[in-house]
Structure 1
């Protein structure tokens, strides 16, 4: 298997942070190891990238809940 690029890992790690499934299921679907994924997720969080937060949509019903995850790891949930 060819080595995956940093851009691919950055995109995959951001997708993981916005997932609606378990880590195990996400890794199985993407064909990656959990430990490697966690390394790239923590690298994004520490990088101080251009993004201030990563929005996560939690609810699928009429009520909405959005969680903002800051690079420091702090999560703030807003329900409406």
Structure 2
């Protein structure tokens, strides 16, 4: 629930910054770059030690891949 509150706070803060013109109009590019190249990898490293490696994760399910291939083949024929 706290995540939704944080999202709402960030949206409202963005609207306030946009209306008061306190930040540069292209600031979103720098913020997005920071999120993609720094924040998301940091979050993945937080949960990486909890991932359990099993043989089933190494190869995809053959039935799933076959169905995926059939759907791609059907779309290609359209």
> TM-score under structure 2 normalisation?
0.28
Q: Which has the higher helix share?
A: 2
Which structure exhibits the higher relative contact order, with contacts defined as CA atoms closer than 8 Å and separated by 6 or more residues? Answer: 1
Greater Rg by CA: 2
